[in-house]
Amino acid sequence: MTGYVYDQGWHDERARLAGLEALWDAGTRSLATRLQVGPGASVLEVGAGGGSVVEWLAQVGATVTAVDLDTRFVEPLSSATVSVHALDVVADALPGGAYDLVHARLLLEHLPAREAVLDKLVAALRPGGWLLVEDYDWTGFGTDPGGELETRSIEGILEFMRGAGHETNYGRRLASSFAARGLVEVFGEGRSHVIDAAHPGYPFFALSFAQLAPPAVDAGTLSADDAATMGPALTAGEYRIITPTLFAAAGRRPA
């Protein structure tokens, strides 16, 4: 298997995605607002996932084209101003073009073909349009308390993801990748949180582990004993989590 390792059909996938929305939507909205997304803007949302960003873009008056490999969660958002397309951003052409904003969050880091996909996203912009991409850098990720079990378990999951083509620290390279493509007014930022189990973002980590531990054990990157100890502890909310850093980069196609 290469590319995205999570399954939209997994029984708790919508709740997992809701966790990441709770962590990152406020910052994404703030960035999009800074890029002057508003009424009449035409936006391509790539890897739309659970659809919270699509929903917000429609609320502020943008016309949204939402694409994902699996559109089960965004299909209900279809409307006069939201069109939904099931496609593979690696293999398929993107719909339309000349967008005011192209946005992708937590997608490119998963794709071995991320550089070619980035080229496609740039090509979909109108001259002067903004590209906004957000991806993790897992360098700072950890648990408190944290020890050998936690370090081995986290590394076991990340190693499994790397086996499918995930780049652990991709987020930190975004701004340079934008500049190398000739985008202008490029800027970047990183954000992270320290959360406990009461935070609505906590399920993202517990459910990500629950979904990936079995295939990681099968692949030999995580021991069954570690999975059987760490999984229940995470689910029981025994940790404070230092999230990965979500890096964002923005840049404009030259006018």
Ligand X SMILES: C[S@@+](CC[C@H](N)C(=O)[O-])C[C@H]1O[C@@H](n2cnc3c(N)ncnc32)[C@H](O)[C@@H]1O
Residues that bind ligand X (CB under 6 A): 3-4, 8, 17, 20-21, 47, 49-50, 68-70, 88-90, 105-107, 110-111
CB nearer to ligand X: pick between 86 and 233: 86
CB nearer to ligand X: pick between 67 and 125: 67
Residue of closest CB approach to ligand X: 49
Q: Indicate if the alpha-carbon torsion angle 86, 167, 176, 119 is positive or negative.
A: negative
Quick check: bond before 145 cis, omega within 30? yes
Q: Give least dist CB 127 to ligand X, A.
A: 25
Angle ∠(173,176,178) on CA atoms, nearest 5? 110
CB nearer to ligand X: pick between 21 and 100: 21
Q: Indicate if the alpha-carbon torsion angle 250, 253, 254, 255 is positive or negative.
A: negative
Q: Give least dist CB 47 to ligand X, A.
A: 3
Total residue count of the chain as it appears in this document: 255
Contact predicate 142/195, CB 8 Å: no
CB nearer to ligand X: pick between 135 and 150: 135
DSSP string across 68-81: ES--TTTGGG-SSS
Q: Give least dist CB 220 to ligand X, A.
A: 24
CB nearer to ligand X: pick between 164 and 219: 164
Q: Give least dist CB 229 to ligand X, A.
A: 26
Q: Give least dist CB 39 to ligand X, A.
A: 23
Helix ranges (DSSP H) in 60-201: 114-123, 148-163, 174-180
